């Protein structure tokens, strides 16, 4: 990489040490500052930049203005300027010509970057590949490097392969109430370096997701509706059937045809009789039900006949022994689904794994 862009969200992570469990929104940021929090994103970005410069002095680093990167490159102490999502998006627009865009922040920042990439796509512009420097309170997305130093070293390498990595975020308001609620927002293009990205997407051999989808397709029976939840794995099931199923919505397929795409809970209730629900875990917390797929409600599940859970072995390994989780909002449904489930991990391959209610 010869030209690397840098966008720092200076307030990312400021709410963490202040016990605010996140930093989204100006009120939380002001509250954190009032509690005496000091910004940490700048320091973490500076560590990534130092590592990058040490490894590749020839790389040109182009930064967003002022506290969003420029000050840091000039060696100034990080400040806690209150920036907004719009500032992050504008910075990504301005740096769209770099070979790789480094951004320092958390899942909220990753969402802003994703929004900017989508805006660029709408304008017909190709956005650069990106890489997150982990600096936020919540870092559940797959587009972050394992550490600031790892981000710097990755940016120093030349890449010719890229992969799509999940952008997930939690609802901070629920998170403050003690509920972890990750939701998949989309994917960002990142350097395809194995073992070096955060958790979930690391080290997944190519073809694993396709093999899982093939197993699901092989199990499909005529006359049975299949409810495909959100996510890249379930979307691959649709692809293998030649159907334009959605990445983020819930779709219904039957007899090889797309019956309904991106359905609401009410629509789904009508279509779910004797259906098989096909789900993959969302985000690093291992949620299978109740996060990002609330359309599949307890009353919908009550009508279905089976549930297939999909995950690569790598994704299960990244849970570090934690169980898969269900939280449909109805205790009876949750406890019915709890216990050891067979998770499809490949073609004619599965792992027995614990699923628990929250």
Q: Where on the chain is the footprint of another protein (CB under 8 A)?
A: 51, 54-55, 145-153, 156, 161, 192, 194-196, 203, 205-207, 312-314, 316-317, 320-321, 339-342, 345, 348-354
Q: Which is nearer to another protein, 59 or 271 (CB)?
A: 59
How far does CA 164 lie from the centroid of its chain?
10
Q: How far is the CB of 4 from another protein (least distance, A)?
A: 16
Got the DSSP string for 126-172?
Answer: PPPPEEEEE-SS---STTBBSSHHHHHHHHHS----EEEEEEEEE-H
Q: Which is nearer to another protein, 223 or 320 (CB)?
A: 320
Rounded to 5 degrees, φ, ψ at 325 are -125, 145
Distance (Å, whole) CA 167 – CA 162: 15
Q: How far is the CB of 274 from another protein (least distance, A)?
A: 23
Q: Which is nearer to another protein, 28 or 288 (CB)?
A: 288
Q: Which is nearer to another protein, 54 or 77 (CB)?
A: 54
CB half-sphere exposure, 174, CA atoms < 13 A? 10
Q: How far is the CB of 356 from another protein (least distance, A)?
A: 12
As given in the structure block, the two tokens for residue 215 are 């197993």
Q: How far is the CB of 152 from another protein (least distance, A)?
A: 7
Q: How far is the CB of 30 from another protein (least distance, A)?
A: 31
Residue 36 CA: distances (Å) to CA of 16, 30, 32, 167: 12, 10, 7, 30
Distance (Å, whole) CA 310 – CA 280: 5
Q: How far is the CB of 33 from another protein (least distance, A)?
A: 28
Q: Which is nearer to another protein, 271 or 351 (CB)?
A: 351
Q: Which is nearer to another protein, 294 or 314 (CB)?
A: 314
Rounded to 5 degrees, φ, ψ at 323 are -75, 165
How far does CA 228 lie from the centroid of its chain?
18
């Amino acid at each position: 990489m010869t030209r690397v862009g840098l966008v720092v969200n200076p307030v990312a992570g400021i709410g963490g040490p202040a016990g605010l469990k996140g930093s989204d929104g100006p009120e939380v940021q002001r509250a954190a500052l009032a509690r005496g929090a000091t910004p940490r994103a700048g320091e973490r970005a500076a560590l990534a930049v130092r590592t990058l410069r040490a490894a590749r002095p020839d790389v040109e680093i182009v930064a967003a203005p002022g506290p969003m990167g420029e000050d840091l490159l000039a060696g100034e102490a990080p400040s806690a300027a209150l920036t907004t999502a719009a500032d992050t998006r504008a910075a990504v627009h301005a740096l769209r010509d770099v070979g790789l865009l480094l951004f320092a922040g958390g899942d909220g920042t990753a969402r802003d970057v994703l929004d900017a990439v989508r805006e660029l796509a709408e304008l017909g512009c190709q956005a650069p590949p990106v890489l997150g420097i982990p600096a936020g309170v919540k870092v559940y997305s797959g587009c972050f490097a394992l550490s600031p130093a790892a981000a710097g070293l990755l940016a120093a390498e030349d890449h010719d392969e890229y992969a799509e990595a999940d952008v997930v975020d939690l609802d901070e308001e629920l998170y403050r109430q003690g509920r972890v609620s990750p939701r998949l927002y989309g994917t960002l293009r990142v350097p395809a370096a194995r073992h070096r990205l955060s958790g979930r997407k690391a080290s997944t051999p190519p073809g694993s997701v396709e093999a899982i989808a093939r197993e699901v397709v092989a199990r499909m029976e005529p006359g049975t509706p299949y409810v495909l939840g959100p996510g890249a794995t379930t979307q691959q099931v649709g692809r293998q059937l030649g159907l334009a199923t959605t990445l983020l919505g819930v779709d219904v397929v039957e007899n090889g045809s797309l019956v309904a795409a991106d359905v609401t809970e009410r629509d789904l209730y009508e279509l779910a009789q004797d259906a098989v629900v096909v789900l993959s875990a969302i985000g690093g917390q291992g949620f299978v039900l109740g996060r990002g797929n609330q359309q599949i409600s307890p009353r919908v599940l009550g009508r279905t006949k089976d549930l297939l859970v999909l995950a690569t072995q790598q994704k299960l390994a990244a849970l570090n022994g934690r169980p898969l989780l269900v939280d449909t909002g109805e205790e009876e449904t949750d406890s019915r689904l709890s216990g050891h489930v067979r998770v499809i991990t490949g073609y004619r391959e599965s792992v027995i794994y614990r699923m628990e209610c929250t």
